[in-house]
Amino acid sequence: MGGLIVLATIAVGLYVVRLYYLYPRTDDAYVRANIVGTAPHVSGPIVELPVHDNQRVKPGQLLFVVDPRPYKSTLDRVEALLALTNLQIHALDDTIRSARAREAQLAAAAAYDRQYLDRIEPLLSRHFVTANDVFNARSRLEADEAAVASARSEVRKAENDLGQYGDINARRKAAEAAVYDAKLNVEYCYVRAPFDAYITNLNIAVGQYANEGRQVMSLVDNRVWYVMANFRENFLSHIRPGMTADVFLLSYPNKHFRGRVQGVGWALYQGNGATIEGLPQVEATLNWVRLSQRFPVRIVLEDSDPALPLRMGATAVVTIQGYRGTPRRSHKQ
């Protein structure tokens, strides 16, 4: 009888150990979310702040407004410059047409004088015209050709001033780019939530100066929540991406959350072995005491309940359930 009890105890112990490794469990786990710092693209004093600390905001909801008046003034100025540029382009078009007409007129005069010179040059040997007549005709032709060259140069200069390259006018394009940039700056004055989020640690007020690119407030990304669970290294061979996990939160003890392993951490920072001034640091350890390292496992929560809002930093208890509820296939870390 005693032998049966011992065998039963051993069997139960082996079964428990098997479950212990097949379904790793840890209470060293915490709810996490991505924290996104919100900063304006322009600088200026904050003139509107319609939100408050810990408020939930929807995508596109106004967070704060930087004084837009200087940027609206710049926009008015560059829009006026664009209108002026369009007028200049029309004037240059007229100049080009006039220069081309002048070139054509001078070219016609040069062609006539060339024909006249060609007619009278044979008459010189027959004494029907004088050498002076031929000289004058040749001089007029040279003057006409010089005038044509000058007119052609004026056309090229006007075309260069116009700045037309194919279907694109460089003058207009530059002015339109300045208008677009000014419009962007006006829009940047109105900073909006990029996604569903919670405002946290809000410590600003109307009148505070906001600097371009410097964080003004932090948003907790409400789109994806996950749990960072720290598992002992001897459990890692039983944890793979894609496995399901049962998650219980201390803040909602009666609620069962479902998660899925996204990945297992590849590295830990260790003070032992760190290099200090070129020399390795080796801390004294007890050879007979071996502590298992804990590696972070990211578990994405898949069934968050709007009635039970999650909070970053909440304590969790995680049990890996393997590929339960998922078609078994090859998973690579």
pLDDT in tens, 237-253: 889 999 999 999 999 98
The Cα 63–Cα 50 span in angstroms is: 6
Q: Return the pLDDT at 122.
A: 80
pLDDT at residue 331 is higher than 50: no
Confidence class for position 285, pLDDT limits 50, 70, 90: low
The Cα 227–Cα 257 span in angstroms is: 11
The Cα 137–Cα 117 span in angstroms is: 6
120, 124, 135, 138 from 132: Cα distances, Å: 11, 10, 5, 10
**Averaged pLDDT for residues 42-56:** 96
Of the listed ranges 190-204, 262-276, 306-320, the least confidently predicted one is 262-276
The Cα 162–Cα 93 span in angstroms is: 7
Q: Return the pLDDT at 180.
A: 96
pLDDT at residue 215 is higher than 80: yes
pLDDT at residue 190 is higher than 50: yes
Q: Each residue of 55-69: b (16+ CB within 10 Å) or e? A: eebeeeeebbbbbbe
Would you say 241 and 323 are in contact if contact means Cβ atoms under 8 Å apart? no
Of the listed ranges 13-27, 34-48, 100-114, the least confidently predicted one is 13-27
**Averaged pLDDT for residues 34-49:** 95
CA dihedral 160, 162, 167, 170 (to 10 degrees): 90
pTM of the prediction? 0.71
pLDDT at residue 282 is higher than 80: no
pLDDT at residue 57 is higher than 80: yes
Would you say 203 and 64 are in contact if contact means Cβ atoms under 8 Å apart? no
Nearest to 273 by CA among 261, 258, 283: 283
Scanning the structure block, which residue is given the tokens 């062609």? 111
Q: Return the pLDDT at 325.
A: 58
Q: Return the pLDDT at 35.
A: 94
Q: Return the pLDDT at 30.
A: 96
